[in-house]
Amino acid sequence: MKNKLQIIINSDDFGLSDTVNKAIVGSFERGLISSTTLMANMPGFEDAVNYAQSNALLTNKVGLHMNLTEGKPLTDPIKKCSKFCNAQSFFIYDRKKPMFVLSREERHAVFVEIQAQIARLIKHNIKPTHLDSHHHVHTEFAIMRIYLDAAREFGIRKMRASKNIGKIGFVNKTYKSGFNFYLRHIKNVTTTDFFCSANEFNGLMGNNQINENASYEVMVHAKLNSDGQILDIDDVDMGNKMREMVDVYRPVSYFEI
């Protein structure tokens, strides 16, 4: 990272549905976000690809939102893993328990599924700028190592850090610090110094607690209401929430760091 503040504003869940896609593209057009991450296995994938290929605002601003928790997988081996899928081949993994160890069969199945998700983006001429995941499953230690191994074969070396701003208990804070240290200093992955929600970043701004020599990723989940208004996950208007942030700091994408 450069020795000055950088902020990436990423809207998760690109490809979840056509309406979510429309909200994300609208957020790009209004300058409210600078990055998004695409789900390779969800119903809005093709629609999202069309936006990414036709709208220059999205060029080099699309990462992979790896998904092991919702919808159906792209590959067969993971469908046989009861830890991840039910008898109808839908993902059921819910992250209620930490995942430090997987069996050899589970490791192989996760590796094959992640590779397929990355490959599907690349097949559609989208090389992911970076990696994150639906419901933050990549922050499970067993999955993170597999994710990195799968991504390395595609030359992708940028990944979202574990959330380290906000109300975090001592045990979680210790794990997250270790996770982020391992990511940056052991695996030499490029990430940001801090990762948080838009509300948490706005709280830092309001309390003059922004580290001007650090880098931040700010996460939002753009969506539309019945009136076509773009909201964040908490149903707050995205324009109202993000305007001061983007006016003070010029957001960048992972491609730029």
Contact present, 217 and 6 (Cβ < 8 Å) = no
Q: How far apart are CA 128 and CA 13, in angstroms?
A: 14
Beta strands (DSSP E) in the chain are: 6-14, 35-38, 62-66, 131-133, 194-197, 215-220, 223-224, 230-231
Q: How many CB atoms lie within 10 A of CB 41?
A: 22
Q: Give me the chain's average pLDDT, please.
A: 96
131 phi and psi angles, rounded to 5 deg: -125, 135
Contact present, 160 and 135 (Cβ < 8 Å) = no
Q: What is the pTM (predicted TM-score) of this model?
A: 0.95
Per-residue pLDDT of the chain (257 residues; tens, 9 = 90+): 344 799 999 999 999 999 999 999 999 999 999 999 999 999 999 999 999 999 999 999 999 999 999 999 999 999 999 999 999 999 999 999 889 999 999 999 999 999 999 999 999 999 999 999 999 999 999 999 999 999 999 999 999 999 999 999 999 999 999 999 999 999 999 999 999 999 999 999 999 999 999 999 999 999 999 999 999 999 999 999 999 999 999 999 999 99
Please give the single-letter amino acid code of residue 28. Answer: F
**Domains (ranges, CATH) in the chain?**
6-256 (3.20.20.370)
Q: How far apart are CA 52 and CA 28, in angstroms?
A: 11
| Tokens matching residue 39 | 């789900």
